[in-house]
Amino acid sequence: DQQVKQNSPSLSVQEGRISILNCDYTNSMFDYFLWYKKYPAEGPTFLISISSIKDKNEDGRFTVFLNKSAKHLSLHIVPSQPGDSAVYFCAASGEVGGSNYKLTFGKGTLLTVNP
């Protein structure tokens, strides 16, 4: 059951460049999307979210873009910093099966930012 897919297990970028992390979803009932960052042995840390009524949300170096027709979202990090190196999870929620509480996660993408 892969309702949220992150097809790139890893991504490597140079410090100062843009990092683009991608996420696809299959369930059209999802209407709220979040990105979390996770370091080893820690819990997911919330980064940024977007509601389906928007197509872009920006917070400092982080921007999330949502393309509802393609069921695709992406996280842009500009400029990338070595401290951004972590696993990034895409998550979604919505009125799925009568519930809008639970988050459905992708498998994550390991971002490595090289100095």
Partner 1 sequence: EPEVTQTPSHQVTQMGQEVILRCVPISNHLYFYWYRQILGQKVEFLVSFYNNEISEKSEIFDDQFSVERPDGSNFTLKIRSTKLEDSAMYFCASSGLAAQETQYFGPGTRLLVL
- Which residues are at the interface with partner 1 (CB under 8 A)? 31-32, 34, 36, 41-46, 49, 89, 91, 93-94, 99-108
Q: How far is the CB of 111 from partner 1 (least distance, A)?
A: 17
Closer CB to partner 1, residue 12 or residue 45? Answer: 45
Q: How far is the CB of 49 from partner 1 (least distance, A)?
A: 6
Q: How far is the CB of 16 from partner 1 (least distance, A)?
A: 28
Asked if 106 and 22 touch (Cβ cutoff 8 Å), the reply is no
Closest to 88 in 3D by CA, of 67, 64, 70: 64
CA distances from 40 to 45, 86, 110 (A): 12, 8, 11
Closer CB to partner 1, residue 43 or residue 115? Answer: 43
Asked if 11 and 28 touch (Cβ cutoff 8 Å), the reply is no
Closer CB to partner 1, residue 13 or residue 21? Answer: 21
